[in-house]
Chain A
Amino acid sequence: EVQLLESGGGLVQPGGSLRLSCAASGFTFSTYAMSWVRQAPGKGPEWASAMSRNGDSIYYADSVKGRFTISRDNSKDTLFLQMNSLRAEDTAVYYCVKGTRTNYNAGTVDAWGPGTLVTVSS
């Protein structure tokens, strides 16, 4: 069974940093693209960042470009999101999402983690 478990969320002041992790199990992690999808309170989800299976192709939403960095450790089946210069508008639940292909813009997604809440507030 595919399992994704996010960690690292919490309360942070504007301008601060957080590092999210997603521990994956139940599938061959290195084979698939992975994404971070976030959902602000009362809003629809949005793709924040995505990475191909080997990291050679990366996407960032314009709203996070230059502040967030996605990475993965295929030897440890873990996806990361380093978030710097956080703003109030980054407040959201962040979901780790598994793709069905090697590249993030192909196929679809077939598994979501339960999410981790990031709150940016003073």
Chain B
Amino acid sequence: EIALTHSPATLSLSPGERATLSCRASQTVSSYLAWYQQHPGQAPRLLIYDASNRAAGIPARFSGSGSGTDFTLTITSLEPEDFAVYFCQQRSNWPWTFGQGTKVEIK
């Protein structure tokens, strides 16, 4: 089973700042990595699929990069609604797995 590790666990930033979140896989997942956003009490929402493709309706301030084992989610300028928990998820090998998440909180 592929393990995904997020860093940092928590990111404290102010609205308007740039957020850079990392996800590392225990073995290569090629580009089969997705990023999800989750607010309290809600289901995860797909932001990025296959490492760098924005899902439908996702603002351009969200972008993803990486391949193999190292991936990055960048939010160029944080809006109030962006403060949430972010998870990466791989679909390279079954069972598909999620990381434990990075919490982006208001500084």
Residues of A within 8 A of B (CB): 43-47, 59, 61, 95, 104-105, 108, 110, 112-115
Residues of B within 8 A of A (CB): 34, 42-44, 46, 49, 87, 89, 91, 94-101
Give the top 10 A-B pairs by smallest Cβ distance, nearest first: A105-B94, A44-B98, A112-B43, A44-B100, A45-B98, A47-B95, A44-B101, A108-B91, A44-B87, A44-B99
Query: Does the CB pair A114–B43 fall under 8 Å?
Result: yes
Cα A115 to Cα B98 with chains together (Å): 17
Q: Is the interface of B mostly helix, strand, loop or mixed?
A: loop
- Residues in chain A near residue B44, CB distance under 8 A: 45, 112
**17 examples of A-B residue contacts, CB within 8 angstroms:** A43-B100, A44-B100, A44-B101, A45-B87, A45-B98, A46-B97, A47-B97, A61-B95, A105-B94, A105-B96, A108-B34, A108-B49, A108-B91, A110-B46, A114-B42, A114-B43, A115-B43
Cα A104 to Cα B96 with chains together (Å): 10
Name the CB-closest residue of A to B98: A44
* Max count, chain B CB within 10 A of own CB: residue among A45, A110, A114, A115: A45
Cα A105 to Cα B87 with chains together (Å): 20
From A46, A104, A110, A112, contact of B98 by CB (8 A)? A46
- Residues in chain A near residue B91, CB distance under 8 A: 108
Q: Is the interface of A mostly helix, strand, loop or mixed?
A: loop
Query: Does the CB pair B43–A95 fall under 8 Å?
Result: yes
Query: Nearest Cβ distance between residue A100 and chain B, in whole angstroms?
Result: 10
Q: Knowing A43-B100, A44-B100, A108-B34, say if A59 contacts B43 (CB, 8 Å).
A: no
Query: Nearest Cβ distance between residue A117 and chain B, in whole angstroms?
Result: 10
Cα A112 to Cα B87 with chains together (Å): 15
- Residues in chain A near residue B96, CB distance under 8 A: 47, 105
- Residues in chain B near residue A113, CB distance under 8 A: 43
